[in-house]
Amino acid sequence: MKVVIIGCGPAGLVSALSLLDQNTSPNDFILLENRPVFAHRPQVIGVLAAASASLRRWNVLQKMEAGVSARGGRVSWLWQDHKSDAKVNVSWAETEGEFTGDLHTLTIDQASDDNMYLRNINYSTIGDVERIMLDIVLERGVKIVRGVTTDLVWHKETEKYEVCYTTGSGERISAGIPDLVINCEGASRKLVNQELIPRHGIKITPESPLSAYYVYVNIVFPTDDDRMKAVPPGLYFKKLNSDLLMLPVPKKPEAEQPIWVKLRPDMIQGSNLWKGAPADSTLDWSEGPRSKVIEDFATTQIRDFLETLFSKDLPVNFSLGAMTRPIQVRDTILSKTYAGTNIVCFGDSARTGTFESGSGLNILLTVDTNALKVLLSHLPNNVSAQAFEQYHLALKKNAEGWHRRNRMQFYTPGVPPFVPYAEQYDGPRHFNNYDAFVEGVVKPAMRNKKRSSQPRL
């Protein structure tokens, strides 16, 4: 048996882990990746990167892939926030009826010993989990070929694709005709658009999906002192309905602070849009024709946010550094997620549409992965047409359900253009340390909300 995985992002790594879980030898498959080195995504933060050993110890990733939990469970460990020096109890919980891969169940839960549960204080991102999965895949001996450009050669007589790749030196190498090709190239869908759609009549549906537009931009303060004055260190809290937001600001300031800004559709006329997944964008729009309309709008939104969260009276002096091209986020799915008799699309190459970095990943790590594992169970024999169709129907069902949840996210009346939730909260509160935060907010808010008993894993 031979399997080729195209793409070494989250979907490609999940595919590799799924093969390993089914006792496939690392010698029987390879990953092909265009990026010459591992690229940190813009929203990567440190909590899970620092705790990857704990995650591996508790097999959290395997439990994330398990689907919907019917029994519940809990993993927690003490972690010191390197940004704010706060010691917090980081917990990952399985809750009955929820996706176990939902990163919004990875919470900061300082008050757990008092039977109090502070929910939706989420520090994890897709980049953190991607880094952990990459570590595990490499530790288990999987071969990753980096810095290559992949192309597909159609063999009409067998209705199979041969996979070839070109190295940075220009050498073109054939990986042969695999038993299965798992296309995890992401939302750019280059191979889908160039090969699969023209040859197999696949469509991207809906043809005119709802869209939202963002830029990701660095805020640059003139000096560290200016940054400290504008954004004083400490723990900041705001409330939206029953949810809580905690923002730790480090004692050691960083010169640049990256931030998301949501744009109005009329502002992106004539701009070169990035149509891939938001997490795949890079801060490279620092040169060339940057729209003054977008820059002025982003400056205003960021200034309003800083003044709202930190101080209404404090003058905020900053400039905009490197920025992404405007990013189009839209809900789409392929009309058919397989082609020929040996290729399937998985991850964002099959379905796209979520901005929240944990939201799309929970679908990938759970029901989508389960659908892929059912397909992989047919190997090393040829995968039947019926198995391909069942795989497609499973992905379609998952995507359509998720898209229904996403619809209100794109054009929600009254939601400010600035993406982080702080502007939607009522009044900021500042705490000098974590103990004060727990005493002033967590305990009063959760005093009457006892957490149901959950066994420790």
Encoding tokens for residue 25?
């030898």
The whole-angstrom separation of Cα 355 and Cα 405 is 12
Residue 27 and residue 139 share a domain: yes
Band of the pLDDT at 83, cuts 50, 70, 90? very low
417 within some domain = no
Which tops the pLDDT comparison, 123 or 86? 86
Of the spans 183-187, 283-287, 414-418, which averages the highest pLDDT? 183-187
Q: What is the mean pLDDT of the chain?
A: 71
In a domain, 371, yes or no: yes
Residue 430 CA: distances (Å) to CA of 213, 244, 245, 252: 31, 13, 12, 18
**Shared-domain flag, residues 229 and 294:** yes
Residues near 85 by beta carbon (within 8 Å), at least 6 away in sequence: 251
- Tens of pLDDT, residue by residue over 179-219, are 999 999 988 899 999 999 999 999 999 888 878 888 888 88
Same structural domain, 169 and 286: no
For residue 258, tell me if it sits in a domain.
yes
Task: Please tell me whether residues 89 and 25 are part of one structural domain.
Answer: no
* Residue 381 maps to a domain: yes
Going by DSSP bridges, is the β-strand pair 73-80/29-33 parallel, antiparallel, or unpaired?
A: unpaired
Strands 180-183 and 343-345: parallel
Compare 314 and 207 and report the one with higher pLDDT.
Answer: 207
- Rounded to the nearest 10 degrees, what angle do helices 10-21 and 369-376 cross at? 50
Backbone dihedral angles phi then psi of residue 404, each to the nearest 5 degrees: -60, -35
Higher pLDDT, 25 or 87: 25
Single-letter code of the amino acid located at 87: K
pLDDT of residue 85: 53
What CATH number corresponds to the domain at position 337? 3.50.50.60
pLDDT of residue 305: 72
Most confident of 337-341, 439-443, 453-457: 337-341
Query: Which residue in 212, 150, 179, 94 sits closest to 452, CA to CA?
Result: 94
Domain limit, last residue, from 275, 310, 329: 329
CA proximity to 345, closest of 165, 184, 151, 180 = 184
The verdict on 186 and 299 lying in the same domain is no
Residue 453 lies in a domain: no
> Which residues 6+ apart lie within 8 Å of 44 measured at CB?
125, 127, 128, 131
251 closest CA partner among 85, 28, 428: 85
Residue 415 has pLDDT above 50, yes or no: no
Are 109 and 202 within one domain?
no
- Report the pLDDT value the prediction gives residue 376, as an integer from 0 to 100: 93
- Whole-number Å distance between alpha carbons of 158 and 40: 40
- The confidence score (pLDDT) of residue 280 equals 67
User: What is the model's pLDDT at position 57?
Assistant: 38
Q: In the structure encoding, which two tokens stand for residue 324, read together?
A: 């992404």
Greater confidence (159 vs 120) lies with 159
377 falls within a domain: yes
Q: From CA 280, how far away is CA 40, in angstroms rounded?
A: 9
Identify the domain boundary among 309, 329, 349. Answer: 329
Question: What pLDDT score was predicted for residue 93?
Answer: 45
Q: Look up the pTM and report it.
A: 0.69
Evaluate if residue 309 carries a pLDDT over 50.
Answer: yes
The residue among 329, 349, 367 that closes a domain is 329
Distance CA 363, CA 351 (A): 11
Q: Are 213 and 375 in contact (CB under 8 A)?
A: no
277 within a domain of the structure (yes/no): yes
Q: Pick the closest to residue 180 from 366, 11, 15 (CA basis).
A: 15
Is the pLDDT at 221 greater than 80, yes or no? yes
Per-residue pLDDT at 196: 96
CB atoms within 10 A of CB 90: 23
99 and 54 part of one domain: yes
Does the structure show a pLDDT above 60 at 96?
no
Domain residue limits at 263: 211-329
b/e 101-140 (16+ beta carbons within 10 angstroms → b): bbbbbbbbbbbeeeebbbbebbbbbbbbbbbbbbbbbeee
- Token look-up 């998952």 returns 398
In a domain, 395, yes or no: yes
Least confident of 90-94, 184-188, 298-302, 316-320: 90-94
pLDDT of residue 237 exceeding 80:
no
Determine what percent of the chain is predicted with pLDDT higher than 90. 27
Same domain, 51 and 113: yes
354-390 in b/e form (b: 16+ CB < 10 A) is bbbbbbbbbbbbbbbbbbbbebbebbeeebeeebbee
Please tell me the least confidently modeled range out of 56-65, 242-251, 268-277.
Answer: 56-65
Distance CA 99, CA 91 (A): 16
Of all residues in the chain, what percent carry a pLDDT higher than 70? Answer: 58
Q: Looking at residues 38-44, what average pLDDT do you find?
A: 60
Question: Which comes out higher in pLDDT, residue 76 or 296?
Answer: 296
Domains in the chain: how many in total?
Answer: 3
109 and 29 inside one domain:
no
Q: Are residues 312 and 186 in the same domain?
A: no
pLDDT at 5: 98
Query: Residue 223 corresponds to which tokens in the numbers above?
Result: 């000096």
> Within this chain, do residues 259 and 178 fall inside the same structural domain, yes or no?
no
Contacts of 275 (CB under 8 A, 6+ apart): 187, 188, 328
The reply to whether 100 and 179 lie within a common domain is no
